[in-house]
């Protein structure tokens, strides 16, 4: 008989999920929300329901595209269904949303930012040259410029979440980060596949965060030394 998988103790993540997501979410395996559960929610969307005026330069691809009231979508944005965009969302020039996404009310997605198969809860922001792959951003999350949520191992192997109890299998080959409400990342930080960050934690610029579980209300710092030398000659 194989040994039982170690239990994963999770920090506080999201205070509230939209009803459609809350109905299919497993708090013991929050990454599972990005699998068949998200597929089922997006499959229930109408073929197309657009409540905001769109520029003719916005590109809609596929079915199941829902856009709420007050959405502001810049030219050359590419929106690939199935996709839900809530009310008062801003999507800037050249953004690319694909793979099945849920974008909550009041979110902001920046110019040339790519969001692939991800959930952004209300007020989450990926505003400046970000990559968000197979990830969940809690309410009010803000990604600093150039933040990357990486979702794939170089060897293509299954992604495990590293914990004090040992590695926890997720059963997924693609998984980015799960960020609790109010998490903030600094510019050019990189979160490796399988990162879980508790609510209101701050991650400093240039940090490379490896797979693991990081507690709520923490500060993750990168310490470095600079040497300034006088030029010769």
Structural domains of the chain ordered from first start:
19-220 (2.160.10.10)
For 166-176, write each residue's pLDDT tens digit: 888 999 999 99
Element at 225 (helix H, strand E): none
Model pTM score: 0.93
Torsion on CA atoms 139, 144, 150, 151, rounded to nearest 10: 20
Which of 59, 128, 154, 192 is labelled catalytic?
128
Q: Does residue 42 sit in helix, strand or coil?
A: helix
Mark whether 128 is an active-site residue. yes
As a whole number, the mean pLDDT across the chain is 94
Split at pLDDT 50, 70, 90, the class of 165 is: confident
- pLDDT mean over 113-126: 98
The alpha carbon dihedral of 104, 105, 108, 112 has a sign of: positive
Query: What percent of the chain lies above the pLDDT cut of 70?
Result: 97
For residue 217, the model assigns a pLDDT of 97
Split at pLDDT 50, 70, 90, the class of 1 is: very low
- pLDDT mean over 48-67: 96
Alpha carbon of 168 to those of 141, 164, 173, 216: distances in Å? 25, 10, 13, 19
């Amino acid at each position: 008989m194989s040994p039982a998988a170690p239990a994963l103790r999770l920090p506080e993540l999201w205070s509230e999920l939209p009803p459609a997501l809350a109905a299919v979410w497993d708090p013991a395996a929050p990454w599972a929300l990005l699998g068949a559960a998200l597929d089922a929610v997006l499959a229930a969307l109408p073929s197309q329901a657009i409540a905001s005026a769109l520029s003719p330069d916005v590109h809609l691809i596929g079915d199941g595209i829902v856009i709420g009231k007050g959405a502001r979508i810049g030219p050359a944005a590419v929106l690939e269904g199935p996709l839900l965009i809530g009310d008062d969302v801003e999507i800037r020039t050249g953004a690319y949303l694909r793979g099945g996404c849920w974008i909550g009310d009041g979110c902001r997605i920046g110019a040339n930012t790519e969001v692939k198969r991800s959930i952004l809860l209300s007020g989450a922001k990926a505003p400046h040259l970000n990559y968000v792959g197979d990830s969940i951003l809690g309410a009010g999350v803000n990604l600093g410029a150039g933040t990357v949520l990486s979702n794939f191992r170089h060897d293509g192997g299954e992604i495990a979440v590293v914990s004090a109890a040992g590695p926890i299998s997720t059963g997924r080959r693609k998984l980015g980060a799960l960020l609790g409400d109010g998490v903030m990342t600094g510019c050019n930080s990189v979160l490796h596949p399988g990162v879980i960050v508790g609510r209101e934690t701050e991650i400093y610029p240039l940090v490379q965060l490896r797979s693991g579980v990081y507690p709520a209300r923490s500060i993750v710092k990168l310490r470095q030394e600079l040497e300034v030398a006088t030029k010769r000659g």
